[in-house]
């Protein structure tokens, strides 16, 4: 029987399909590159079915069934793997690998969404020229249909931004290429191509949709600038939000959106996209469902909860705080029956590599080094793991990405808490749409697990039957 770690270690890291990081001088488009990669991956899947269909890679315990299926190895999600000790890897490569290898925006240093999207879809590192071409393609497709603009503008400003985003994305399915082709009749081998077209259009339009929601809720009546065809996806997003002159915020959002783009398939938003997509719903409907999963307090709302907690601490203890004062505040939080937000993770048992990447970003910028809220995040990280270990009720006493992400946004002036998850939603699309394309390319079936009643589980447990 394979264990999780032995299975992960057996995955090749030098495959020409999934982990090739040789820079190819080709100027082929993303879709043309996929057309070359897909047949090889289809053969790989066919070989796995033929040779290993009966191989056991895990077992199911009662705790898995009644505990939200946590820990079950039951999904195919090819773009990223989350290891408890190593953290996230995208086609076999870590976040530092991606920061070193993936092309940034012109004049920037951080990973950009286009580079990450290319990697997630193809397993290959694009050239700088290919990322520029993809940026231009996305910018050319970024305008919202007029009826979607009117729909979003009609929403009451009190409607949560995530609700608005989900409704806006769902409405975009009016122009779904997949839905139109399916209604006319098409071969299954063509499913992925129309899914790809929808996914690219969705990613392209998310910044305009998300920025329009921001304007309507927080700056009603303010003009929205035009899309700049020479900017990358996040460069345009920051400009549309009204922060186009803030280069540091733009660079932060580039990093944030790239490293949040995919986090294996078992998290609630990714799994929802996969589940709904498996019914052959088009990508707009599948991703709108994912967004509503992301909107939950146990998922995408976490970073705003961390920020609220950090600001409450700052208000109580002040700016010039020492480790002992933070330790006392942490213990008061725990003894009151609350959790320390931003610490712990469902899979990871080490500090989240995404948190570490954001910490390195902060350490590289003097203005963040002098920020009281950023310094409080850093000092909390220096104290909290030992307190949580002593407390003894946390499996992972280390910080996850939410421990830092919202606090940096706050420092740069993006202080609207309720909007933070919308930015997460723009990011998470990268991984979800990637796997919607591959699910159609590989012909994956509708997801349909078996369920049991409490009595049936008890009978199975007592009899030892499987």
**CA distance linking residue 269 with residue 205, whole number of Å:** 19
Beta bridge partners of 80: 90
**CA distance linking residue 96 with residue 401, whole number of Å:** 15
Q: What pLDDT does 328 receive?
A: 95
CB neighbour list of residue 144: distance below 8 Å, 6 or more residues apart: 152, 205, 208, 209, 212
Q: What angle do CA 442, 281, 453 make, to 5 degrees?
A: 90
Q: Which entry of 93, 282, 402, 411 is annotated as an active-site residue?
A: 402
Q: What angle do CA 155, 160, 163 make, to 5 degrees?
A: 75
Domains in the chain, CATH or no CATH each: 134-297+418-442 (1.10.580.10), 301-412 (1.10.230.10)
Q: What pLDDT does 414 receive?
A: 94
Q: Are 405 and 303 in contact (CB under 8 A)?
A: yes
The number of CA neighbours under 13 Å toward the Cβ of 396 is 18
CB neighbour list of residue 244: distance below 8 Å, 6 or more residues apart: 225, 235, 238, 250
Of 44, 60, 64, the C-alpha closest to 52 is: 44
Q: What pLDDT does 431 receive?
A: 97
- Hey, how many other C-beta atoms are within 10 angstroms of the C-beta on 425? 28
Q: What are the Cα distances from residue 442, in Å, to 75, 193, 260, 277?
A: 13, 12, 25, 13
Q: Are 304 and 406 in contact (CB under 8 A)?
A: yes
Average pLDDT per 10 consecutive residues for the chain, totaling 466 residues:
43 43 65 96 95 90 87 89 88 94 95 97 96 98 98 97 98 98 97 98 98 98 95 98 95 96 93 97 98 91 86 89 93 92 82 92 91 92 94 85 90 93 97 97 95 91 75
CB neighbour list of residue 228: distance below 8 Å, 6 or more residues apart: 139, 235, 236, 239
Between the two ends of the chain, the Cα-to-Cα distance in Å is 17
Reported pTM? 0.91
Residue 97 exposed, middle or buried by CB count within 10 Å (0-12, 13-18, 19+): middle
Q: What are the Cα distances from residue 140, in Å, to 24, 180, 265?
A: 25, 22, 30
Residue 466 Cα to chain centre, angstroms: 35
Q: Which entry of 299, 319, 352, 386 is annotated as an active-site residue?
A: 299
Three-state DSSP string of the chain: CCCHHHHHHHCCCCCCCCCECCCCCCCCCHHHHHHHHHHHHHHHHHHHHHHHCCCCCCCCCHHHHHCCCCCCCCCCCCCEEEECCCEEEECCECHHHHHHHCCECCCCCCECHHHHHHHHHHCECCCHHHHHHHHHHHHHCCCCCHHHHHHHHHCCCCCCHHHHHHHHHHHHHHHCHHHHHHHHCCCHHHHHHHHHHHHHHHHHHHHHHHHHHHHHHHCCCCCCCCCCCCCCHHHHHHHHHCCCCCHHHHHHHHHHHHHCCCCCCCCHHHHHHHHHHCCCCCHHHHHHHHHHHHCCCCCCCHHHHHHHHHHHHHHHHCCCCCHHHHHHHHHHHHHCCCCCCCECCCCCCCCCHHHHHHHHHHHCCHHHHCCHHHHHHHHHHHHHHHHHHHHCCCCCCCECCHHHHHHHHHHCCCCCHHHHHHHHHHHHHHHHHHHHHHHHHCCCCCCCCCCCCHHHHHHHHHHCCC
Q: What pLDDT does 16 receive?
A: 41
CB neighbour list of residue 338: distance below 8 Å, 6 or more residues apart: none
Of 141, 164, 135, the C-alpha closest to 151 is: 164
Place of tokens 């032995």: 6
Q: What are the Cα distances from residue 170, in Å, to 155, 194, 215, 281, 374?
A: 14, 17, 20, 11, 36
b/e map of 231-269 (b: 16 or more CB within 10 Å)?
Answer: bbbbbbbbbbbbbbebeebbbbbbbbbbbbbbbbbbbbb
Active site residue 85: no
CB neighbour list of residue 181: distance below 8 Å, 6 or more residues apart: 190, 194
Active site residue 299: yes
Q: What pLDDT does 11 receive?
A: 46
Q: What pLDDT does 151 receive?
A: 98
Q: Which entry of 345, 352, 363, 386 is annotated as an active-site residue?
A: 345
């Amino acid at each position: 029987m394979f264990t999780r770690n032995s299975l992960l270690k057996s995955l090749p890291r030098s495959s020409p399909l999934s982990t090739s990081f040789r820079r190819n001088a080709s100027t082929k488009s993303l879709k043309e590159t996929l057309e070359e990669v897909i047949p090889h991956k289809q053969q790989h899947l066919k070989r796995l079915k033929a040779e290993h269909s009966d191989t056991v890679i895990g077992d199911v315990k009662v705790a898995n069934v009644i505990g939200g299926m946590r820990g079950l190895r039951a999904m195919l999600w090819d773009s990223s793997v989350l290891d408890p000790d190593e953290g996230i890897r995208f086609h076999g490569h870590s976040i530092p690998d991606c920061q070193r290898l993936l092309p940034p925006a012109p004049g920037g240093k951080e990973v950009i969404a286009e580079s990450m999207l290319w990697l997630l879809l193809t397993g290959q590192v694009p050239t700088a020229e290919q990322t520029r071409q993809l940026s231009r393609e996305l910018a050319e497709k970024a305008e919202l249909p007029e009826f979607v603009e009117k729909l979003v503008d009609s929403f009451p400003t009190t409607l949560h931004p995530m609700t608005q985003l989900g409704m806006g994305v769902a409405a975009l399915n009016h122009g779904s290429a997949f839905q139109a082709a399916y209604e006319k009749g098409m071969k299954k081998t063509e499913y992925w191509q129309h899914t790809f077209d929808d996914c690219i259009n969705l990613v392209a339009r998310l910044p305009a949709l998300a920025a329009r929601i921001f304007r309507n809720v927080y700056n009603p009546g303010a003009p929205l600038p035009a899309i700049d065809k020479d900017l990358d996806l996040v460069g345009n997003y920051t400009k549309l939000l009204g922060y186009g002159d803030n280069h540091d915020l733009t660079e932060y959002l580039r990093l944030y959106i790239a490293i949040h783009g995919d986090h294996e398939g078992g998290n609630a938003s990714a799994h929802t996209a996969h589940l709904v997509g498996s019914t052959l719903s088009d990508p707009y409907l599948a991703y709108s469902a994912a967004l509503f999963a992301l909107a939950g307090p146990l998922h995408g709302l976490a970073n705003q909860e961390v920020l609220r907690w950090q600001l409450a601490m700052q208000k109580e203890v002040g700016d010039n705080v020492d480790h002992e004062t933070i330790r006392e505040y942490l213990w008061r939080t725990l003894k009151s029956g609350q959790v320390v937000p931003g610490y712990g993770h469902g899979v990871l048992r080490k500090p989240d590599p995404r948190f570490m990447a954001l910490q390195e970003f902060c350490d590289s910028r003097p203005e963040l080094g002098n920020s009281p809220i950023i310094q409080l995040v850093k000092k909390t990280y220096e104290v909290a793991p030992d307190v949580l270990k002593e407390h003894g009720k946390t499996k992972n006493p280390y910080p996850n990405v939410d421990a830092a992400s919202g606090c940096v946004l706050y420092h740069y002036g993006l202080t609207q808490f309720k909007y933070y998850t919308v930015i997460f939603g723009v990011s998470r699309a990268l991984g979800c749409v990637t796997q919607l394309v591959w699910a159609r390319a590989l012909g994956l079936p509708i997801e349909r697990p078996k369920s049991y009643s409490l009595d049936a589980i008890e009978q199975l447990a007592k009899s030892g039957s499987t």
